[in-house]
Amino acid sequence: MGRTDRRLLALILAAGAAMLLCFALELGTAAPLDPVPRTAPAAAAPADRAALVDVNAAGLEELMTLPGIGAVRAQAILDDRAENGPYRYPEDLIRVKGIGPGILENLLDQITTGGDDYAQNIGR
């Protein structure tokens, strides 16, 4: 069975189930569902900004404290920052030679670009 056939079958089954539910509710054989109480999700604890490394202000030594960032990559960050300007978002580090998706993934929870106000004012 091909992908299109499986999708069509799933669509037919979903439509059939919806029709059965409608008929059951109309005939009174099924009671309407009570609404699910909605609660606000617990707010994620914001990362302690003081513990984050600001990639727009950090020097060579501080950048080297990050996982996967040695002297060569730290210098590449400094060179890129001097040549192309500050990083607007932490994900902008991907533009640095030697920092790929894997290294970036390990850095994201440990770095900042200096705060939202700073990021929004770059380029103005």
Task: Provide the mean pLDDT of the chain.
Answer: 80
> Domain segments of the chain: what residues?
1-38, 49-121
Query: For residue range 96-110, what is the model confidence (pLDDT) as tens digits?
Result: 999 999 999 999 999
* Claim: this prediction has a pTM higher than 0.75: no
**Residue 100: partners with Cβ closer than 8 Å, 6 or more residues away:** 94
CATH of 49-121 among 3.40.50.10310, 3.40.50.12140, 1.10.150.320, 3.20.20.60? 1.10.150.320
Percentage of residues in the chain having pLDDT higher than 90: 50
